[in-house]
A = this chain, B = another copy of it.
Amino acid sequence: MSEHNATAARPPGRPRSARADEAIIEAALDIIAEGNTVDALSMDAVAARAGVGKATVYRRWSNKEALMMDAIVALKGDIPKPAGESVRADLIALLGRVGRYGGRAGKIMPCLAPEIHRNPELYDRYVAWVEERREVIRDVLRRGIGTGELDPDLDIELAVAALTSPVTMQSQLRWHPHLTKERLAERLVDMVLNGIRPPAR
């Protein structure tokens, strides 16, 4: 409440500009989510969709690559917090979120892939965004080593890749047409935890 009042007391220019920034970023994300590549994205189209003048867009971002970098960060701001009960439950909860940024981000990521591949700065920005979320998974794995739930010699980076890649590819690219999505995170976590050799008798 008091925060709301504080905002209202600010000079009128500042919040309007923040609202315009947000509208511009949302417009860029919407256009990409419709299946357009960054290549095909124009600052004109972004301005029109956001309902602002082109000059307003350029005042804040000198080119569409710079705009896309901020758009990626805006796509999903929160870092998940595991409950901390068991490694299995935490991993299932964390993986259940991968690729579920709402339908839009799932559509955006494949369209960004070629751009990320070509543009090292965008790649770095995107990886930093992903790494911040991966660090939560690493923490769960490290905790599992400490509690004895996991192999003390675990290759943490490989485990992160083994756990996240199948879910990412399936949610973003429908990569495996014969793989059912139902309880995918849970089934994958159990497979990676237990392995695929015959169970011990």
Contacts and interface: CB of A to CB of B under 8 A. Distances in A.
A150 interface: yes
Interface residues of A, number: 56
Nearest to A199: B151
Given A111-B117, A113-B114, A197-B193, A161 B170 contact: yes
Copies in the complex: 2
A169 B176 contact: no
Nearest to A91: B196
Main secondary structure of the interface of A (DSSP, over half): helix
Contacts of A37: 37, 39-40, 114
Interface stretch (A10-18, A54-62, A152-160): A152-160
B148 A188 contact: no
Interface in A28-64: 35, 37, 39-40
A200 interface: yes
A101 interface: no
Given A39-B39, A197-B194, A198-B152, A162 B166 contact: yes
30 contacts: A35-B118, A37-B39, A37-B114, A39-B39, A39-B40, A107-B117, A110-B114, A110-B116, A113-B113, A113-B114, A114-B114, A116-B173, A123-B174, A127-B177, A149-B197, A150-B196, A151-B197, A155-B187, A157-B176, A158-B184, A158-B187, A158-B191, A159-B196, A161-B170, A161-B188, A162-B192, A165-B166, A191-B195, A193-B196, A195-B197
